[in-house]
Amino acid sequence: MTAKIIVTNDSSAMPVFALSNSSVSYIFRVSIEGLLEHLHFGGRVEPSSCYPSEPKRLHRGCVVEFQNSPHYNLSDVPQEYPVFGTSDNRLPAFHAINADGNSTQVFRYKSYQILDNKPDLEGLPSARGGASKSLVVTVIDDISNLRVELSYTVYDDHNVVARSSRIINDGANRVTLLRAMSSCLDLPAADYDLLHLGGTWAREFNQDRLPVPKGRFVLESATGASGNVHNPFISVMDKGTTERHGRVFSSAFVYSGNFSINVEKGEFDSVRVTTGINPFNFQWQLDSGESFTTPESLQVFSNAGLNGMSQTWHSFIKDKLSPENYQGVPRPTYLNSWEAAYFDIDEDKVLELADRTKSLGLEMLVVDDGWFEGRNDDTTSLGDWYSDKRKFPNGIEAVAARVKQKGLKFGLWYDLEMVSPESNLLLDHPDWIIGVPHRVNSKGRNQLTLDLSRSDVQNYLFARIDQILSSGSIDYIKWDMNRTMTEIGSSRLSVDRQLETPHRYMLGLYCLIKKIVTKYPQVLFENCAAGGNRFDLGMLHYMSQGWVSDMSEPIGRLPITNGASHIFPPCVQASYICPVPNHLNGRQVSLKTRVDVGFFSAARGLSLSAEDIDKDFEALKRYVQFYKDTADDVVNGQFYRVQYHDNHVVWQLNSANSKTVYLGYFHILSAVNLPFRKAHLVNLDPESQYLLTSDFGVTNEQVDSHLSFGGDALMNMGLDLPYVSALQAEGKDYLETGDFTSRLFVFKKR
């Protein structure tokens, strides 16, 4: 069913807005005071002028009533864009200092517009429209002369509502924005759990689930990047919700800078979820006639549990958010030089790795860090984006051309937003960095952050990367970013605008990236920030894939992939087969398990030295072929979390045409007398037979063709998972003994 926006009038002749598709509805109305009251977000409800549930006006003890409205206490009224100081005690969506110095506003309904085309968010990444309808509701505060346009988009085929707001100063004097959230979702009082993702470097995306507490639960970043400590994503769900059952509300922010997601359970137990730019260390001077557009906040509803929520996010990201040029396109298998050579890279080594890349059947060679002027370790050279003459006497473009002559693609690494204190760039332009006067600049990985709010900095960076990309020899860019902001200020901004620096940086960054990706649509861009330090929907709007984590060791990667999969589909995730023992955690894991975990990312490769490759050459060659054969299925398929336990993990991936089903089983630590476990597969055809064509890599890929199971049996009875025991006999019912083992079952629908 196509998305619809129906506007009716309630019994007081006030407008009621109902946005729906065949599965979900988002409904709100205008109260008699002109305020926007939220009525419903969830399963589809036929638009009507009368609903069985609505905000109440009943006598409560010891509360303040909104401006002469009897029994109208805003602390218990679900609202669309709540403000501070007019009887709502919860954290508002909006807070600003008016020209007369106070911070009171009352936004009342003025008008609405229904659009077939989703409005563009100036200078910001946002989901595409198409097969959607948008509603823009205008509210005004006639004392401060502030106007806010609240924008909502509902889609035909996705259970997603996209929200943003635009604040316009129609007054004669400056207003200072302190808090301008992109969305507010007020949920009725109930027992909810919340789930969020976070961690730190090399341990990103750990999932954490807890009951929504009384008070306020806050996820935020103030470091200039969305960060790896908390991802700008949250789920709030009915208590008892599982992977497959239950109602889930989820919000994610299409932004890569400072964010704040607040879940507040107020005095009457209703729950408010606000998503937007972090108000901490934020101020924006809005002069007369100016406007401020908030980034986009996406709201998802699923009544099929957390997997249902993830399916919604995955298909929406694929269809509406990821760049269209690589949508559904299998990603090249690759060799990345980082863990193969680190900074010790030169023309000979690149050509040697290119030969190995070719002979393994891989499709692309990526030269990571270390290729530019004087870059022999991480203490120098960022900013000086010229080929190192000693390592690459003919220039990196010439090497790229030679690699391409071998029939390979060529990729290159940049950390463009950064500058090393020891660099010609900083000598020439000491004022080009993020910093504040008279303070020492703290360094992260020996580097400083360039001030991308400045157009001269953007222009310089564009010229540097453009010079290399215009050679036509580069097929892929790994866009890294290896530190967050400290001592935050810009030499270009006036004293009263210093707290605008982080958002202006993001606008500058997006402007630069957009210019580059628009000029080079054939280039595949990978977002990286020391792994997942800025892995968000903002960056993924411009770049088709991301380096999820520097944790390349598969057992360390399991919780990261599992956590990230709550929102991100395999098609945006990159991984590679690491050397053993792993360089970060020292773990020794078999090649098979490294391959099997990596299977569930669409961008797959390896980062091994020539010697490491030679040791496992034949096996690697087979695995590379397997990755290539399955590339289409993984980039276009549907991923499901089947089981996630301390000691084992099961994931499933169904190809887009549903004909092939992959089931990955990862067993972490060996132990004795473990339970027998089974996995209940998801979303199969109950009436079809599924032939177990390969149990990849266990028995030299022998096809066990006699095993054919009904889809109904695989889903309802479950598949016995192989058993691990040091006491075991040989056979298909066993995993190899020892720690860190895996199986990858491949079923073909008959």
Gap between the Cα atoms of 154 and 60, Å rounded = 36
Rounded CA separation 411/547 (Å): 14
Q: For residue 570, say if its preceding peptide bond is cis, omega within 30 degrees of 0.
A: no
Respond yes or no: is residue 480 known to be catalytic. Answer: yes
Q: What is the C-alpha to C-alpha distance for residues 646 and 52, in angstroms, rounded to an integer? A: 44
Contact 358, 408 (CB under 8 A): yes
> C-beta of 261: minimal distance to ligand DGJ in Å?
25
* Cα radius of gyration rounded to whole Å, the chain: 27
**β partners of residue 264:** 216, 272
Helix (H) or strand (E) holding 375: none
Nearer to ligand DGJ, 164 or 552 (CB): 552
Q: Which of 415, 480, 596, 633 is labelled catalytic?
A: 480
Position closest to ligand DGJ via CB: 369
Is 431 labeled as catalytic in the residue annotation? no
Q: How many CB atoms lie within 10 A of CB 434?
A: 24
With tokens 């310089």, the residue in question is: 460
The residue assigned the tokens 């509210």 is 139
How far, in Å, CA of 183 to CA of 623, rounded? 45
Which residues of the shown chain bind ligand DGJ in the complex (CB under 6 A)? 338, 368-369, 413, 480, 482, 528, 530-531, 547, 550
Alpha carbon distance 78, 140 (integer Å): 19
Helical spans, DSSP H, in 530-608: 539-542, 554-564, 591-598
User: 646-649: long-range contacts at Cβ-Cβ below 8 A with a sequence spacing of 24 or more?
Assistant: 647/671, 648/677, 648/721, 649/558, 649/562
Shortest reach from residue 251's CB to ligand DGJ, in Å: 27
How far, CA to CA in Å, does 49 sit from each of 6, 107, 151, 270, 500?
A: 10, 23, 22, 24, 43
CA distance 294 to 180: 7
Burial class (CB in 10 A: 0-12, 13-18, 19+), 657: exposed
C-alpha atoms less than 13 angstroms from C-alpha of 583 in its C-beta half-sphere: 13
For ligand DGJ, which is the closer residue by CB, 186 or 368? 368
In the complex, least distance from residue 322 CB atom to ligand DGJ, rounded to whole angstroms: 21
Q: How far is the CB of 236 from ligand DGJ (least distance, A)?
A: 31
> Exactly one of 384, 536, 550, 633 is catalytic; which is it?
550
Between CA 15 and CA 21 the distance in angstroms is: 20
Per the listing, tokens 């520097």 go with 550
Contact 711, 652 (CB under 8 A): no
HEC profile for 284-315?
EEECCCCEEECCEEEEEEECEHHHHHHHHHHH
| Minimum gap (Å) between residue 482 Cβ and ligand DGJ | 6
Write out the H or E segment, with its range, that includes residue 711: helix 711-716
Q: What type of residue is 270?
A: S
Q: How far is the CB of 321 from ligand DGJ (least distance, A)?
A: 22
What angle, 0 to 180 degrees and rounded to 10, lies between the N-to-C axes of helices 617-636 and 591-598? 20
Q: What is the smallest separation between the CB atom of 233 and ligand DGJ, expressed in angstroms?
A: 20
Decide whether 192 or 372 has the Cβ nearer to ligand DGJ: 372
**CB burial string 347-376: b at 16+ within 10 A, e below:** bebbeebbbbbbebebbbbbbbbbbbbbbe
| CB closer to ligand DGJ, 132 vs 575 | 575
DSSP-assigned letter for residue 696: T
Name the minimum Å distance from CB 186 to ligand DGJ: 39
- When the beta carbons of 278 and 482 are compared against ligand DGJ, the nearer one is 482
Query: In the complex with ligand DGJ, which residue's Cβ is closer, 444 or 710?
Result: 444
The owner of tokens 């098609």 is 571
309 within 8 A of 160, measured Cβ to Cβ: no
Q: Catalytic positions, please?
A: 480, 550
